[in-house]
């Protein structure tokens, strides 16, 4: 090979070598064996025509010898460009210049702001034993605080006590923020006594998924690789809840780097059945909320990380529209798919929390400035409610138990006077676009892969982040862009389908609905709709138009008010 066509890779390790080829969109089918061995035999060489011929296979291409001759020098120059970029240390918080926008042309949204209207609360009285309110929704806890029947300090101490008592069973806590919590609770009591009541979240203890930065406390991201990490700031969501007067009592678990329920300290458990995990990745928020260890929690979803643990633990979760809640100060996994949302014991709790955290902050440039006008008393019979006909019919035989609960959910909606409209999702290869998440996650944690620190993560198996981060480097940039072009088509088709639909109901895990919504950015409210023979909950999902959380929550609230699944409590051991 001509010297002008080579650069030395003598000092490049195997993992860097693999990354060079993947970044160029080249095949690494033979790199682990033949090609890498050839590089070791001739360390002065870089890309050869033979390597390129093998690499073409993964891209589904075949070039001529003349075409390969033309490419070699350019590929070597690419390698140097990649190397130059890698020498710049990029933080997880630094987002790409390309911003995802779920809005397609000709879509318009309500811009008029109106006061939210919540259900009228019945008079509440504090029980003789304070722990009896541990499972109360925020709407009722707030009345105890507002009427000064219970102090925030007492409520906070009760929840801290339960966190300490039951965490040994559930493994849902990374860090107790006890000192901060008692300080915030004391301040809340002083303000309320002085007549300065901030609203329904004032004095209410809550828990944060430990991917949200909190000043003076560790933010571990659930991973051994980051378990000593301290980020000297409060995430926007943390700041906004503090402004609402809420009391942070704990940093709650997440599966390592937001996958599953296994973190560096163990496996977070489902309070309904401690023999199984709580699912993830918002494992701790779901478990702690279901077990009555916090008033509410904040979770996050990229692809099912609110819906799945909310289902497993029987809580109500809201995954907002992409671009509704600032992710400033939250761990980035996928810049075009990450979303933050509340995990609560009722739909109206979710509305209260969402109202406190949504809207622009000047940091997360994906967040739009549109109103949230919740009205619990809206006439849901006048909303256009669809249902995924095929999905309800296609519950597999092994999910017959779920199918019964899902069909009963449709009956409940009809009993409310709602006319359900048959609908289907776009007929496109949705699952084929899943590697968009892999590519972005691989970039977000590229440093772990290159420095071999991915070996620190607890789960080392095919279906876990270390393996995904590694093979993400093999995704050609062209294919990532092509997948996002298909994503645009799906968004356009969804806009057409949703033009005549306000909200639709869907089985939570049948078909492509969950991935599709996370790719298109649509909001979802998930809530319990039954219990399996094992005692674990099942769920139903309500999906709304972009930025239509108010209508989605209203329909979900109407359903929940006609059922009592959310009022059931797990039996925790002593």
Q: Which residues pair with 113 in a beta bridge?
A: none
Q: At what angle do helices 178-193 and 138-146 cross, to 10 degrees?
A: 50
Q: Is-catalytic flag, 415? A: no
DSSP-derived letter for residue 359 is: B
Q: Examine the residue annotation and report whether 209 is marked as an active-site residue of this protein.
A: yes
Catalytic residue among 225, 282, 287, 305: 305
| Whole-Å CA distances, 397 to 102, 387, 393 | 35, 20, 11
Structure tokens at 309: 């643990």
Class of residue 73 by CB neighbours under 10 A (exposed 0-12, middle 13-18, buried 19+) = middle
Q: How big is the CA angle at 206 (ends 204 and 209), to the nearest 5 degrees?
A: 165
Number of C-beta neighbours around residue 342 at 10 A: 31
SS3 sequence, 476-501? CHHHHHHHHHHHHHHHHHHHHHHCCC
Q: Which of 152, 278, 281, 326 is catalytic?
A: 281
Using CA atoms, how far apart are residues 188 and 182, in angstroms rounded to an integer? 10
Residue 382 a catalytic site member: no
297 and 284 Cβ atoms separated by less than 8 Å = yes
Rounded to an integer, what distance in angstroms lies between the CA atom of residue 513 and that of residue 456? Answer: 34
Contacts of 515 (CB under 8 A, 6+ apart): 303, 430, 431, 433, 434
Residues in the chain: 574
Tokens of 357: 């955290």
Q: Which of 22, 152, 209, 326 is catalytic?
A: 209
Catalogue the active-site residues.
209, 281, 305
């Amino acid at each position: 090979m001509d010297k002008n066509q080579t650069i030395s890779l003598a000092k490049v390790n195997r993992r860097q070598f693999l990354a060079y080829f993947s970044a160029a969109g080249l095949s690494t089918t033979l790199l682990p064996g033949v090609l890498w061995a050839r590089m070791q035999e001739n360390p002065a060489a870089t890309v050869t025509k033979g390597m390129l011929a093998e690499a073409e296979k993964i891209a589904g291409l075949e070039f001529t010898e003349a075409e390969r001759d033309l490419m070699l020098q350019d590929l070597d120059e690419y390698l140097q460009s990649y190397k130059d970029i890698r020498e710049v240390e990029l933080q997880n918080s630094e987002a790409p210049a390309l911003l995802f926008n779920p809005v397609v042309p000709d879509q318009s949204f309500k811009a008029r702001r109106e006061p939210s209207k919540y259900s009228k609360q019945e008079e509440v009285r504090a029980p003789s034993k304070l722990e009896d309110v541990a499972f109360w929704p925020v709407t009722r806890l707030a009345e105890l605080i507002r009427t000064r029947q219970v102090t925030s300090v007492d409520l906070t101490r009760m929840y801290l006590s339960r966190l300490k008592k039951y965490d040994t069973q559930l493994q849902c806590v990374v860090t107790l923020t006890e000192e901060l919590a008692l300080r915030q609770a004391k301040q809340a009591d002083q303000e309320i006594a002085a007549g300065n009541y901030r609203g329904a979240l004032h004095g209410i203890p809550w828990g944060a998924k430990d991917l949200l930065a909190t000043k003076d406390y560790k933010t571990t991201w659930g991973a051994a690789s980051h378990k000593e990490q301290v980020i000297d700031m409060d995430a926007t969501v943390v700041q906004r809840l503090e402004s609402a007067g809420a009391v942070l009592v704990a940093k709650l678990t997440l599966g390592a780097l937001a996958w599953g329920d296994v973190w560096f300290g163990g496996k977070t458990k489902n309070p309904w059945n401690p023999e199984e995990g709580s699912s993830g990745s918002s494992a701790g928020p779901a478990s702690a909320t279901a077990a009555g260890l916090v008033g509410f929690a904040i979770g996050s979803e990229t692809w099912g990380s609110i819906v799945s643990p909310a289902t497993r633990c029987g809580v109500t979760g809201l995954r907002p529209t992409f671009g509704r809640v600032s992710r400033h100060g939250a761990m980035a996994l996928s810049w075009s798919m990450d979303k933050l949302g509340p995990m609560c014991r009722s739909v109206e709790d979710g509305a209260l929390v969402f109202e406190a955290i949504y809207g622009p902050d000047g940091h997360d440039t994906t967040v739009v400035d549109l109103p949230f006008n919740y009205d619990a008393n809206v006439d849901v019979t006048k909303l256009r409610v669809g249902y995924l006909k095929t999905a309800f019919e296609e519950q597999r035989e092994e999910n017959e138990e779920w199918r019964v609960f899902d069909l009963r959910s449709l009956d409940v909606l009809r009993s409310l006077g709602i006319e359900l409209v048959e609908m289907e999702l776009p007929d496109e290869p949705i699952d084929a676009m899943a590697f968009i998440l892999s590519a972005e996650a691989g970039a977000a944690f590229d440093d772990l892969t290159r420095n071999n620190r991915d070996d620190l993560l607890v789960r080392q198996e095919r279906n876990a982040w270390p393996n995904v981060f590694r093979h993400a480097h093999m995704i050609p940039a062209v294919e990532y862009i092509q997948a996002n072009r298909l994503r645009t088509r799906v968004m356009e088709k969804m806009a057409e389908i949703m033009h005549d639909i306000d909200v639709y109901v869907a089985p939570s895990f049948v078909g492509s609905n969950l991935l599709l919504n996370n790719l298109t950015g649509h909001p979802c409210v998930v809530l319990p709709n039954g219990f399996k023979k094992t005692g674990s909950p099942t769920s139903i999902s309500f999906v709304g138009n972009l930025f239509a959380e108010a209508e989605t929550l209203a329909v979900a609230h109407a359903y929940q008010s006609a059922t009592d699944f959310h009022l059931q409590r797990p039996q925790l051991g002593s």
